[in-house]
Amino acid sequence: MNTRVTEMSTGEAEALDITAEQAASAPQARALPATAAAQPAAPKPAARKRSSRRLLLMVSVPLVIAAAGAWFWFSGGRYVATDNAYVQQPMVSLSADVAGRVVEVSVHDNEDVKAGAKLFAIDPEPYRIALRQADAALATARVNVEQLRVAYGTAHAQLKSAEATLEIRKTALDRQASLANKGLTAEAALDDVKLAYENAQNAVALAKQQVDGAVAALAGNPDIATDDHPAVRSALAARDTAARNLDKTTVLAPADGVISQVGSLNVGQFVAAGTTIASLVESGQTWIEANYKETQLSGIRAGMPVSVEIDAYPGVSFTGKVESIGAATGSQFALIPTQNATGNWVKVTQRVPIRISVAGDADAHVLRAGMSAVVTVDTGAAKG
């Protein structure tokens, strides 16, 4: 019995050992699917990284934007720009100083001309005739002055003769009066001598008047030069006017530039004096007129450097400087200035023209009057 119990106990122990081993191996078997199921959940650390990156972006982007905005605010205000700017060049209206019929046209539209170049000519023959007439009038005036000088000499000689006669008549009167006082002559003889003396006095007075008239005719100076006499000077002025009119029959270019609007000028056409018949754009003088808002002028001063971009030449930047600031807004120079003393007044930001001189680097590019430009003034001082 004991032996059987012992053997059973031994078998039970072995069974218990087998059962324990199976129990130990069972959790491992069950753990295998759990491990396999846990493998897809491995990306959890990556999700944490994405959330941290998102948080970093949410914090850093506003900070960067705020920093950029602060930088732009503190560094802004140094450059003041406007696109309301245009190329300007002097434009000369060409006209004839004298009237006449056109006999020659020497230029064409949009042709480059130099100062002094012949543009067109008016028939000079009427003005040559006028010049000859002026020459004749001048010669006549000189002759008249010589005649006045001769008349002065004659009047002066007559005065001397009258004064000599007066001396003789006075001597005769004194002698006759002495004889009459002594009773040696009749009273009638004395009266005749007195009458002759009075006639001599009147002759002297008349001769003096003639001398004064001759002096006045010589402009108050008997020794005046012929060409200094007013009549001769007037004739000289008329002659100079006639010569100038003859010279003005040929119209010349007043400066270097480009001629335009001559298409309507034809040979045989009659033009009146002072009538505009062509235009000359002086391409040698170029500047930029930038119309800045009145609120942009606080930091702009004459002499500041400027960058200019012309719409006709993209990517090309010209240098220049502020030459001057307009004395008034553009509306003040309008033909009919705005009247703000009304009940329906609306405030409008005004613009002030600023003249910008362009540096020599613009010579390589053709700038035409009226071209649009973008002007940026470097004030040298930012808000910060």
Please give the residue range of the domain that contains residue 240: 126-245
**Separation between Cα atoms, residue 143 and residue 145, nearest integer Å:** 5
Examine the domain organization and report whether 85 and 96 are in the same domain: no
162 shares a domain with 113: no
Do 295 and 357 belong together in one domain? yes
Higher pLDDT, 38 or 371: 371
Q: DSSP characters for 15-74?
A: HHHHHHHHHHHHHHHHHHHHHHHHGGGTTHHHHHHHHHHHHHHHHHHHHHHHHHHHHHHH
- Asked whether the predicted pLDDT for residue 68 surpasses 60, the reply is yes
- Clarify whether residues 234 and 170 are in a common domain: yes
Assess if residue 49 is contained within a domain: no
| Domain membership flag for residue 347 | yes
DSSP-derived 3-state class of residue 186 = coil
Both 136 and 118 in a single domain?
no
The tens digit of pLDDT for each residue in 110-168 reads 999 999 999 999 999 999 999 999 999 999 999 999 999 999 999 989 999 999 998 98
pLDDT at 272: 93
**Residues 187 and 141 both lie in one domain:** yes
Type of residue at 140: T
Residue 45 has pLDDT above 80, yes or no: no
Same domain, 137 and 226: yes
Q: Are residues 293 and 274 in the same domain?
A: no
Pair (273, 350) in one structural domain: no
For 227, phi and psi rounded to 5 degrees? -75, -10
**For position 296, which CATH number holds?**
2.40.30.170
Domain identity same for 168 and 187: yes
- Model pTM? 0.64
pLDDT beyond 50 at 246: yes
Q: How confident is the model at residue 309 (pLDDT cuts 50, 70, 90)?
A: very high
State whether 113 and 219 are in the same domain: no
The pLDDT of residue 69: 75
Q: Are residues 171 and 221 in the same domain?
A: yes
* Number of separate domains in the chain: 3
User: Tokens representing 228?
Assistant: 């200094």
- The answer, yes or no, to whether residue 215 has pLDDT greater than 80, is yes
Query: What does the buried/exposed string (b/e) look like for 155-173 if buried means 16 or more CB atoms within 10 Å of the residue's CB?
Result: bbebbeebeebbeebeebb
pLDDT at 129: 97
**Tell me: the pLDDT tens digits for 351-371?**
999 999 988 666 667 888 999
Alpha carbons 308 and 81: distance in angstroms, whole number = 10
